[in-house]
Amino acid sequence: MSQPSTASATKPIADTNDFVVKFANVNGSGSASANELFARAVLRMGVPVCSRNIFPSNIQGLPTWYEVRVSGEGWLGRRGGVDLMVAMNPQTWNKDLAEIEQGGYLLYDSTKPLTSQKLREDVTLLGVPLTQLSNTLEGTIPRERQLLKNVIYLGALSALLGFEAAVVEELIGRQFKGKDKLIKLNLRAVELGHDYATKNLAGKCHLKVARADKVGDRIFISGNDAAGLGAVYGGATVCAWYPITPSTSVAEAFTKHCKKLRVDPVTKENKFAIIQAEDEIAAIGMVLGANWNGARAFTATSGPGISLMQEFFGLAYYAEVPAVVFDIQRGGPSTGMPTRTQQSDILLAAYASHGDTKQVMIFPKGPNEAFEFSALSFDLAERLQTPVFVMMDLDIGMNDWLVEPLKWDDARQYDRGKVMTAEELDGGKTFARYLDVDGDAIPWRTIPGTHPNKGTFFTRGSSHNAYAVYSEEGKDYTEVMQRLLRKFETAKTMVPGPIRHDAKAATRWGAIYFGSTSVAMDEASAKLEAQGLMVDTLRLRAFPFSDEVVDFINAHDQVFVIEQNRDAQMQKLLVNECTIDPVKFISLLHYDGAPITARFITSAIAERMSVTRKEAAE
Amino acid sequence: MSQPSTASATKPIADTNDFVVKFANVNGSGSASANELFARAVLRMGVPVCSRNIFPSNIQGLPTWYEVRVSGEGWLGRRGGVDLMVAMNPQTWNKDLAEIEQGGYLLYDSTKPLTSQKLREDVTLLGVPLTQLSNTLEGTIPRERQLLKNVIYLGALSALLGFEAAVVEELIGRQFKGKDKLIKLNLRAVELGHDYATKNLAGKCHLKVARADKVGDRIFISGNDAAGLGAVYGGATVCAWYPITPSTSVAEAFTKHCKKLRVDPVTKENKFAIIQAEDEIAAIGMVLGANWNGARAFTATSGPGISLMQEFFGLAYYAEVPAVVFDIQRGGPSTGMPTRTQQSDILLAAYASHGDTKQVMIFPKGPNEAFEFSALSFDLAERLQTPVFVMMDLDIGMNDWLVEPLKWDDARQYDRGKVMTAEELDGGKTFARYLDVDGDAIPWRTIPGTHPNKGTFFTRGSSHNAYAVYSEEGKDYTEVMQRLLRKFETAKTMVPGPIRHDAKAATRWGAIYFGSTSVAMDEASAKLEAQGLMVDTLRLRAFPFSDEVVDFINAHDQVFVIEQNRDAQMQKLLVNECTIDPVKFISLLHYDGAPITARFITSAIAERMSVTRKEAAE
Amino acid sequence: MTYIAKPKFQHPGLKKNTVGYTHRDYEGRISTLCAGCGHDSISAALIETFFELAIEPHRVAKLSGIGCSSKTPDYFLGQSHGFNAVHGRMPSVLTGANLANRDLIYLGVSGDGDSASIGLGQFAHCVRRGVNMVYICENNGVYGLTKGQFSATADKGSKSKAGGLNSDSPIDLVSLALLLGATFVARSFSGDKKQLVPILKAAFTHEGSAVIDVISPCVQFNNHVGSTKSFDFVREHNDAVNRIDFITPRDEITVDYAPGTVETVTQHDGSILKLSKLDPAYDPHDRAAAMAYLAEKAKAGEVVTGLLYIEEDAEDLHAHINTAHTPLNKLAEKDLCPGSTALEAINEEYR
Amino acid sequence: MTYIAKPKFQHPGLKKNTVGYTHRDYEGRISTLCAGCGHDSISAALIETFFELAIEPHRVAKLSGIGCSSKTPDYFLGQSHGFNAVHGRMPSVLTGANLANRDLIYLGVSGDGDSASIGLGQFAHCVRRGVNMVYICENNGVYGLTKGQFSATADKGSKSKAGGLNSDSPIDLVSLALLLGATFVARSFSGDKKQLVPILKAAFTHEGSAVIDVISPCVQFNNHVGSTKSFDFVREHNDAVNRIDFITPRDEITVDYAPGTVETVTQHDGSILKLSKLDPAYDPHDRAAAMAYLAEKAKAGEVVTGLLYIEEDAEDLHAHINTAHTPLNKLAEKDLCPGSTALEAINEEYR
Ligand SMILES: Cc1ncc(C[n+]2csc(CCOP(=O)(O)OP(=O)(O)O)c2C)c(N)n1
Ligand SMILES: Cc1ncc(C[n+]2csc(CCOP(=O)(O)OP(=O)(O)O)c2C)c(N)n1
Ligand code: SF4
Ligand code: SF4
Ligand SMILES: [Mg+2]
Ligand SMILES: [Mg+2]
């Protein structure tokens, strides 16, 4: 963030389709819908936006922010810094003021004159008497007027930034569809703000949104919503979950989509079962029971849930029961920062539970992959007969992202893996639950009830031989444990491979990243390349790491590993599982709970590269 | 284990004070006490033994073994192989027979002639009609005779191996102190076996125990017993636990010793509180509550408990609450092998819980350190204000080991760490719970109830600033998280350092080991040195690793890491926390659930060293 | 327990039930429990029950937690799928399995440690959801497998083998089940097969959560004087409120009863329970009264057994959440995947 | 909630209690809960209770789990140590704290999700051990902090804000506490301070597990028509069985009561509870009857409040396990460490 100076010389920022607006509100004050409307209005103008909700772990009365980046170039990560602050929360005035870029703007409620508040000479004040204007709205109660203040500043912004009137009207019409009285009232509020700004603030704001054609048919959706939908498409029928921020909306999305897509039109019966469990241990237990019994089942949780589910993860790994677990990561450890983002459950998931285990993880970069990988994970879990962790985070999960429309290939078919049928059993196929008959270390299973007298077995977390019989024999135990290692090798060939992008010119520098870091990383590499700094990049999409990952690392002298946690957890995995000399890696860690920014990555990499350059020069 | 051949030429093994006897029994048949008596008899002869109990996860009727190594040289690890098998369990006859060394012996109940059973020409049969003899014991019921059979073979062995009669008599007298009838009966049984062997098996057995003076004042004690006693000496007052093999006997030992040492002679009140919790989550919760409130409290558990306690470990790390956790490791994952040994909870403990954490672990090598480190861990936990994991395993915990007497320095004083008193608060010391005032990153705490209006604070697992106030500010959060990293650095200076032992000659080879592996490793290094293979060794005693560990690794080209798990968990920690190129390490992994043997280590290292030698030669 | 495997050869003369299975088809591996353990008698009662109810073994899923009791599913119904979950967590696994396929019969076997200590929460929530299952707690008042510590069902003041006295209030799983809305609640005694088998039959034909607390003495660690879970104690203090004759739709009723002494309960599947009341005052349809009765008798140190409560027209979890009658695990891809056209419409909603 | 911090300056005229503390000394940080949240009223009642009982703030340890309700300990008794444990696990942390120092007063604050869902097991076991504490469940029938999902105390058939109906049987923590041997059990309503404060006073002077279920409506997610935890519903269906006047040993008794209408209960510390019976039939010393009464009223949709059960001569966990009267956390090294000579003797036993 740039240090505010008091130099009155600074010129106000002038920019079109490339700036950041941040709304500072009090939560529970109804600002959310107005702010989202703002973002959608920019989209309607054909200009890409990305928005981030920074909210407290409470229901009403604490500070909350909504950051909207307007980016004609289409950058979807956080940029860092704020050009226009809509300061609606006296509690955070100073902090908000300080965050504004040199020559930026501040919109505030000018009903009461500014007296005690701090100000900055370089920041242009945009005063709108929101309270006063809202009081002019006839037939409204205080609570309504409170809400409408937000709509009034939306109107003012539409004037200041130059939205087409139709855009806002259409959105309001859509939002309050059917409720004409409300539509009128809100349009009136927009008008109030718009008129006031036009009359009193004309020419004061040099940030503009100009009609463009950069949005196309893209959709604006959150990762959790997409993941929930992906589970519907992936054939999940059982969802057992326990509420926890930021994962709750995965189960809620699955519920919403199931009610639309999975209710039998005739019988009105549900082709799904969703249980709010009593806690996370029960949730994962239900998921294992359902998968064991041949249904595709999943749970969605966050860090604390992952901790509580440890014992069951060990059972699932060792007894080879499929399961899909969405981990929408938040700030840890412990209760930590429930409403902030982090990528800090990686090690706990990778080696979950006591004893030796290795777990499969996939890392969606955003809503599209959240949808695709969600569906894919059910195939993976059944093919590999093991839990699959879909590692997302609050940033992907709870923010709306502007992304390509979701796609589904109707030719695609569910792959249930090695499930032996009654026919096969009758056909004389011999069944041994934990025997590696195909050489890929994946054994065959049967679903309870399959056959009257063939193919039953006993599932247990205690030591067993290849025939699922209880055994305390060292060699029976090690046989199974070694096969599990080989099965993990097989997993490498099934999970989504990494995505490599090479810089324009050959380089000894590489950068590895994953998940929600991707949008910021895309922008950072472009910026670096523009500065003539060449970095090849590799986006990890799964654990275990396939050979391309090792090749990429070996192909570079120095590799940045960019993570949103304190302890470089992914790097630890890379070092151990790919047998890499740790000195090869430079970790860039961003873990204050706010999504990583393009600025952070760009400057950190640039700085480090120039340092080594100098060293080389000396 | 050596392949039995059928060459009739093989000479019977002849050896004095250096052989292995293994008892194959059915559990619940009362063999345990007779077998232990055998081991103690050898000790009474002044000859060191080590014994290992290999028992099933059941109460009655399944195979159980007791392996006694007689070692005049004083080696206390398992050697591997068996010279004399006492085969009392028809179920396991073949397996037991196969385990006998070339030219070994087999003692069996010859009441019924051997018909169907497999035999080996190279194995000398020592038949004793145990059932028949036991039936001659007047005034006994079948159940008693069943038990006495075990005493009869003890008598036979005392003759075959040449125990002094007084030795066995004294032990039986001691065991049944006060119960003269039982003493008579048992002595009679011993006599029966002794006489039969003397008359019928004279000269058949060339394994002998000869009176020596190699035991000294050493004691024969299990690690769990010692750990429980250590907790008494360390000042623990609260123990909250949940039964689980192999940790149960830690809590039982603490109870036993408290009843002797901690009951007020006058009031008969208990200066301790022991609660059998409803599960492991409750157990660790109680431990945190008690430590938070200024009592020294601990829990003892095993893998499944460590998995269940994850969430609380994260809270304790982040809220900085002291705690002592004994992890008596068993075979994992999941329920795994409850009655077998392993060192496979290391990674789960080191990075316990979701989010970024690093936990302190100490690794006792046997009962002495189990006692010392147990007491020490309470100082460490309070000085560092964090959980301390005492990582033991079933081998240390549940087997009796021959060790030096336990020692306590009366000059030593408990170090409760930075606890601010009412006096200090009144004296104007300012209190800020999470502020690094001393530069060692360890803040001050207060105990509830300390002062009427100073020094209170709110403990929480949610994000907080240096003053223990709830905060969602990124910089408040990172400030605390970074201090926690520095605190872990401070921990390096407090935990027990590694023990280094250099070979006679300088060498490029190193070997790192820890915990129960130590006794086998001691023997292995000696054997290797005898073969002219020079290996410097380092025994890890704690995590975080102090600088000597890094120095040791850097001082060698190739370093063996010997572990009792599948995935080289300690090696992973070394690579990550010491930034070592993984190729430097060669892992030797033994994880079938039986304690690692000197043979395994010796041959594995020798083989690897000769290979590289050859390579070098080529 | 003996180590000689039973000959698997089946005597042609072995009696077959109506679905063509012999008694032996319902047996399992040889028990590894202690000779005389109450749990083995319960396994035997289960084998008899399934044989007589003529349920095909593969239509049963047997689940359990961890403990001696939880080992038993390996010792009966060798031709059914089984699942040893982790300690205290069987109820959630059973719930999930039940959600996946409502057509199988679900048997949960647990112990008092598994159910009342570590598993109390899961037990309670599974019951209050009305999961269609038979949940048996093989209750011996101790942790057998870990060698005899008190469990949460041990009565206040009862003595451990080592001589310690229990000071915590006991958890009575039967009262708890009643409080939590279980629709079939019974208690029995491993030593009383005559009472246990009909109760089991009634339970397996009940549609909803059937909870049966079976006192099952641990001969190894809790069968001594001073224990309230010993064979002797239970025999002496057994207060059976009723006896059941179980009559399947197939059987014609042969026995006839003195009028007034017997109540007839007809279940979903048409099976009939003839309840001969031993305590005429006792009404197995009054939840509140049942709880009060149990509380009274507990004070008096009596062990109340019998069918304590039944709601013959109970509804199970699937009815509550309106799940499809076709088991979820049988739905085909076409039933589940909305396909690309639906997706295009969905995309539109997000523009 | 308002963002202007209260002036910390204390008006000299502020009334002091017998230990010299003003009302404000019992306050905490400014609440961050929703305006009108029932939980804030409970905090206010607690502040009043402690002030009037004249308990020095630092002699209280306040513990809670996770949830809006569990946040409240930050909003009262700013001069007491507090501990926000993890979700549903406060009872174990409180138990441990209590073991360490039997001399402090332990207050556990929880919510219905925290206590009846994830925390059911810990709640149950903490109560059955007789831990000396006051356990308050601020019961709103929903998960407030996670935005309004049903909790396990939601009544069958009650309606969610979104319109969904609850199909699971409810868990009544009061009946459960009675079943598990709690020695002080009460229910009250956040909207009825007159009833709540005396109950709290009685609870804090009780020696043993005191469980209080306080219906505390969530104005944000569960205060609508169709909810059985809304202000209106509770007001309309509140069936108070009695009213307490709490009299400390210090006070002389001023009020006099019409004979027969009042029962006098004298507690350990000499404090006296004057119970005016509103339902003459109701006997707060009969556990079984209390449970039956609750079951009956629940059927009728009534919310029973008041002091439901009390055992004035109760014993707590420390009495059961015979802990030293000197708090364990005050024992010195010499009390705890047997020293080297004792160790030599011990070594001998292992030779
Ligand atoms: C998480 C966990 N904790 C502890 C154990 C150890 N354990 C195995 S069985 C058991 C208790 C069994 O008691 P109960 O359920 O009554 O069964 P019983 O043996 O008496 O039939 C315990 C504590 C475990 N297996 N897992
Ligand atoms: C292990 C864990 N799971 C889930 C959550 C998320 N969570 C926070 S509060 C809460 C429920 C709180 O409900 P209740 O106890 O009734 O408190 P209320 O907010 O209604 O007062 C949940 C599920 C968590 N913090 N930790
Ligand atoms: S220990 Fe007890 S419960 Fe376990 S098998 Fe033996 S008798 Fe049965
Ligand atoms: S959400 Fe409900 S419980 Fe939480 S503070 Fe608001 S009103 Fe209270
Ligand atoms: Mg039991
Ligand atoms: Mg609630």
Of A311, A351, A592, the CB nearest to B304: A311
Q: C163: pLDDT confidence band, cut at 50, 70 and 90?
A: confident
Distance of CA A223 to the CA centre of its chain: 5
A-facing residues of B in 195-224 (CB < 8 A) are none
Distance of CA C155 to the CA centre of its chain: 21
CB of residue C221 inside a 6 A radius of ligand 3: yes
Interface of D with C (CB under 8 A): 117-121, 124-125, 127-130, 152, 156, 167-172, 175-176, 179-181, 287-289, 291-292, 295-296, 299, 320-321
C155 pLDDT higher than 80: yes
Mean pLDDT across chain D: 93
E strands, chain D, are 60-64, 81-84, 105-111, 133-139, 142-143, 149-150, 184-189, 209-215, 238-240, 242-247, 262-266, 272-277, 303-310
CA D107 – CA D39 distance, rounded (Å): 15
What local confidence, expressed as pLDDT, does residue C258 receive?
A: 64
Of C171, C180, C288, the CB nearest to D296: C288
Average pLDDT over residues A222-249: 98
Whether B354 sits inside 8 A of A345 (CB atoms) is yes
Expressed in angstroms and rounded, the spacing between residue C125 Cα and the centre of ligand 6 is 17
Q: Which amino acid is residue A193, in one-letter code? A: G
A2 pLDDT higher than 60: no
Query: CB of D279 within 8 A of CB of D241?
Result: yes
The reply to whether C93 touches chain A by the CB within 8 Å rule is yes
Q: Whose CA is nearest to atom 7 of ligand 1?
A: B244
Segment C173-208, tens digit of pLDDT: 999 999 999 999 999 999 999 999 999 999 999 999
**Which residues sit with their C-beta closer than 6 Å to ligand 2?**
A 242-244, 280, 304-305, 308, 335; D 66-69, 87, 111-114, 138, 140, 142-146, 151
The token duo for C53 is 């109810």
CA B495 – CA C242 distance, rounded (Å): 66
Q: Which amino acid is residue B99, in one-letter code? A: E
For B455, nearest residue in chain D (alpha carbons): D79
What local confidence, expressed as pLDDT, does residue C3 receive?
A: 42
Residues of chain B positioned with their CB less than 8 A from the CB of A331: 355, 463, 477
What local confidence, expressed as pLDDT, does residue B9 receive?
A: 67
Segment C302-319, tens digit of pLDDT: 999 999 999 999 999 999
Strand order across the D262-266 sheet? D242-247, D272-277, D262-266
Expressed in angstroms and rounded, the spacing between residue D196 Cα and the centre of ligand 6 is 18
CB of residue C217 inside a 6 A radius of ligand 1: no
Of A60, A90, A278, the CB nearest to D117: A278
The reply to whether B290 touches chain D by the CB within 8 Å rule is yes
The list of chain B residues with pLDDT below 70 reads 1-9, 615-618
D259 pLDDT higher than 90: no
Interface test with D, best of B286, B431, B453 (most D CBs within 10 A): B286
CB of residue C113 inside a 6 A radius of ligand 1: yes
Helices then strands, counting H and E runs in chain A, come out as 20, 24
Expressed in angstroms and rounded, the spacing between residue B50 Cα and the centre of ligand 5 is 35
Which positions ≥6 away from C340 have C-beta within 8 Å? A407, A408, A409, A410
Task: Provide, rounded to the nearest whole percent, the portion of chain A with pLDDT above 70.
Answer: 98
How many CB atoms sit inside 10 A of residue B566's CB?
A: 23
Query: CB of A331 within 8 A of CB of A322?
Result: no
Prediction pTM value: 0.97
CA A68 – CA B211 distance, rounded (Å): 87
Nearest CA to CA, how far is A134 from chain B (Å)? 32
CA C158 – CA C228 distance, rounded (Å): 6
Residues of chain C positioned with their CB less than 8 A from the CB of D295: 287-288, 291
Nearest CA to CA, how far is A254 from chain B (Å)? 25
C271 pLDDT higher than 50: yes
Provide DSSP, A490-546: HHHTTSPPPEEE--SS--SEEEEEETTHHHHHHHHHHHHHHTT---EEEEE-EESPP
D-facing residues of B in 305-334 (CB < 8 A) are 311-312, 315
**Three-state secondary structure call for residue C227:** coil
What local confidence, expressed as pLDDT, does residue A567 receive?
A: 98
Q: C2: pLDDT confidence band, cut at 50, 70 and 90?
A: very low
Q: Beta partners for A388?
A: A324, A360
Average pLDDT over residues A306-314: 98
CA B245 – CA B335 distance, rounded (Å): 10
What local confidence, expressed as pLDDT, does residue D254 receive?
A: 61
Mean pLDDT across chain A: 96
Residues of chain A positioned with their CB less than 8 A from the CB of C342: 261
What local confidence, expressed as pLDDT, does residue B7 receive?
A: 46
Q: Beta partners for D81?
A: D61
Of A271, A406, A446, the CB nearest to C343: A406
Nearest CA to CA, how far is D281 from chain A (Å)? 37
Q: D251: pLDDT confidence band, cut at 50, 70 and 90?
A: confident
What Å distances lie between residue B250 and A386, B297, B339, B566, D18, CA to CA? 35, 13, 15, 26, 48
What local confidence, expressed as pLDDT, does residue C252 receive?
A: 63
What local confidence, expressed as pLDDT, does residue C216 receive?
A: 98
Q: Whose CA is nearest to atom 6 of ligand 3?
A: C34
Q: Which of B188, B202, B63, B206 is nearest to B133 (CA)?
A: B188
Dihedral, CA of residue B422, residue B423, residue B428 and residue B434, to nearest 10: -50
Average pLDDT over residues A211-235: 98
D-facing residues of B in 237-276 (CB < 8 A) are 237-238, 240, 257, 261-262, 264, 267-275
A358 pLDDT higher than 80: yes
Which positions ≥6 away from D261 have C-beta within 8 Å? D276, D277
**Three-state secondary structure call for residue D285:** coil
What Å distances lie between residue B243 and B302, B303, C87, C149, C154, CA to CA? 9, 12, 12, 8, 16
Angle at alpha carbon of residue C117, lines to C113 and C118, rounded to 5°: 100
Read off the DSSP letter of residue C118. Answer: T
D63 pLDDT higher than 50: yes
Q: Using only the alpha carbons of chain B, give its radius of gyration.
A: 27
